[in-house]
Amino acid sequence: MAKILLIGNGAREHAIAWKIKASPLLTGLWMWPDHPACSSLINTPTNLGPTATHTEIADFCKMTKIDAVIVGPEQPLSTGLANILENFGIPCFGPQQDGAQLESSKSFAKDIMTDAKIPTAFSREVKTETQCRKEAIAILKTGKPVVLKASGLAGGKGVFVCFEEDEVEVALIRLYENMSEAAETVLVEDFLEGRECSFFCLIGKDSYTPLGFAVDYKRLQNGDEGPNTGGMGSYTPVSWLPADAQKRVLAEVVEPLLKTLKYKAIPYTGFLYVGLMWHPKIGPQVVEFNCRLGDPEAQILAVADQRDWLAMILKHLGLHSEPLESPNEDLKPTAGVVMSSLDYPYGEGKPGRSAELPLELFAHQRNRQVFAASVKFAENHTVETGKGRVITCVATAEDLDTAAQRAYHLVETVQEFWPDSHFREDIAQNHK
């Protein structure tokens, strides 16, 4: 039986809250920062302001007798929330600052992958724009694309895949003018061929539980055109992967990673996200690690997975010792479509008119669920849409084509309230 504080107020955390709310082990749920679309899932608001410090969060946990904290986003982990909670003796599902570097420093992640002999793209670290341009152009001259990556956190917007010199120049402006802190170190990386997917695990001190694979649609526009985004849609399961895909990722990536972290005395408890490029001959190659679930992958996995995530999380924190019920581990065919404001991802151009969405939209319907981020309280049981990726429409069915159709029906419903929204029309259309 557990009282949980869930950190984060995105659509991913909406999905985690919705998922753990269904667990018989949950006795109380709090969320910080406030999530206006989750008011029916939580006990009471925390009374912590939006800028609460890690210590204030820990104090709240003590006062409210929170049994465990689950951290959704990477940012509080990279600034040491789990370290502070540990000092207060509060179990935290999410790594401490050193483990969180798997995501907060692409350069750290690359070094760990090299040490652990995890298959990944070769990369060079550069510290200046001039050096970056030189290395990138040298790779383009070999006839291959090049990938430029800000080493620090950039909200999913710090990676540029460039096929031509013009694209390198655009990337250099973004990196060195718009995100100079994250781009203090830049990785100039070889381009990996293959098909992209991600793999998710819950990691505990001495064990882990695989959640499964999902495909995310990173580009803004249909047909994988336009800039990279945080993710415009997702589906699971991934039937185009070979039958032994999970076995291979565990053996070639997850286990060597955990072994190397242990060897380096870096403890790791929490979500693990493995971004992969799957090559038909080579198999899995790691694009990135994150210390959180994906967004929108979390939204579809929460709906697709029939297991009790809270029970699994508590077990990995050593707070639940009963054997876990093991219902069907198969993920139900599930698709999710993201709806964003019109100025996403760079805040350029007009955002479009915001909309007031009725709270009933977020009530669970059979096989369908709408999740929200970036909304604020409005009058008459509505929330007002903000900027960025706001809504994820998720649906399940016996097969993925029907799941996608259902998700798009949900999109139509939301669109009636929010016509000035952007979404891709081809999510889960090429899943075979």
Applying CB under 6 A, which residues contact ligand GLY? 156, 216, 230-231, 290, 294-295, 297
- C-beta closer to ligand GLY: residue 67 or 295: 295
Rounded least distance, CB 122 to ligand AMP, Å: 9
Residue in this structure with the two tokens 């032994």, named with its chain if needed = 244
- Is residue 295 involved in binding ligand AMP (CB under 6 A)? no
Rounded least distance, CB 280 to ligand GLY, Å: 23
By CB under 6 A, name the one of 287, 335, 391, 407 that touches ligand AMP.
287
Residue 389 contacts by C-beta under 8 Å, 6 or more apart in sequence? 11, 229, 230, 231, 232, 295, 296, 338, 339, 340, 344, 373, 374
Q: Report what 191 binds from ligand AMP, ligand GLY, none; CB cut-off 5-8 Å by kind.
A: ligand AMP
- C-beta closer to ligand GLY: residue 113 or 274: 274
Q: Of 55-63, 86-94, 154-162, 360-368, which part binds ligand AMP (CB under 6 A)?
A: 154-162
- For the record, the structure tokens of 58 come out as 């820990």
Rounded least distance, CB 187 to ligand AMP, Å: 9
Separation CA 207–CA 258 (nearest Å): 10
3-state secondary structure of 70: strand
Q: Report what 297 binds from ligand AMP, ligand GLY, none; CB cut-off 5-8 Å by kind.
A: ligand GLY
Separation CA 360–CA 112 (nearest Å): 46
- Is residue 161 involved in binding ligand AMP (CB under 6 A)? yes
Rounded least distance, CB 111 to ligand AMP, Å: 15
For the beta carbon of residue 99, count every other beta carbon within 10 angstroms.
22
Rounded least distance, CB 242 to ligand AMP, Å: 20
Eight-class DSSP state of 324:
P
* Stretch (H or E) spanning 90: none
Binding characters for ligand AMP, 232-271, by CB under 6 A (x = yes): ----------------------------------------
Separation CA 221–CA 345 (nearest Å): 11
- Is residue 189 involved in binding ligand AMP (CB under 6 A)? yes
Rounded least distance, CB 232 to ligand GLY, Å: 9
- Is residue 74 involved in binding ligand AMP (CB under 6 A)? no
- C-beta closer to ligand AMP: residue 235 or 309: 235
Strands (E), 60-119: 68-71, 92-93
Measuring CA to CA, which residue among 319, 339, 349, 60 is closest to residue 205?
A: 319
Rounded least distance, CB 314 to ligand GLY, Å: 24
- Is residue 159 involved in binding ligand AMP (CB under 6 A)? yes
Residue in this structure with the two tokens 């495909």, named with its chain if needed = 215
- Is residue 297 involved in binding ligand AMP (CB under 6 A)? no
- For the record, the structure tokens of 229 come out as 């985004």
Separation CA 209–CA 367 (nearest Å): 25
CB-CB contact of 292 with 273 (8 Å): yes
CB-CB contact of 215 with 236 (8 Å): yes
CA angle 263, 269, 274 (to 5 degrees): 85
Q: Of 55-63, 84-92, 191-199, 235-243, which part binds ligand AMP (CB under 6 A)?
A: 191-199
Q: Of 25-33, 164-172, 190-198, 376-384, which part binds ligand AMP (CB under 6 A)?
A: 190-198
Rounded least distance, CB 214 to ligand AMP, Å: 12
Q: Of 68-76, 155-163, 376-384, 413-421, which part binds ligand AMP (CB under 6 A)?
A: 155-163
Rounded least distance, CB 149 to ligand AMP, Å: 6
CB-CB contact of 276 with 250 (8 Å): no
Whether omega for the bond prior to residue 237 falls within 30 degrees of 0, making it cis, is yes
Q: Report what 34 binds from ligand AMP, ligand GLY, none; CB cut-off 5-8 Å by kind.
A: none
Eight-class DSSP state of 60:
H
CB-CB contact of 242 with 297 (8 Å): no
Query: Interface residues with ligand AMP (CB under 6 A)?
Result: 121, 147, 149, 156, 159, 161, 189, 191-192, 196, 218, 228, 275, 277, 287-288
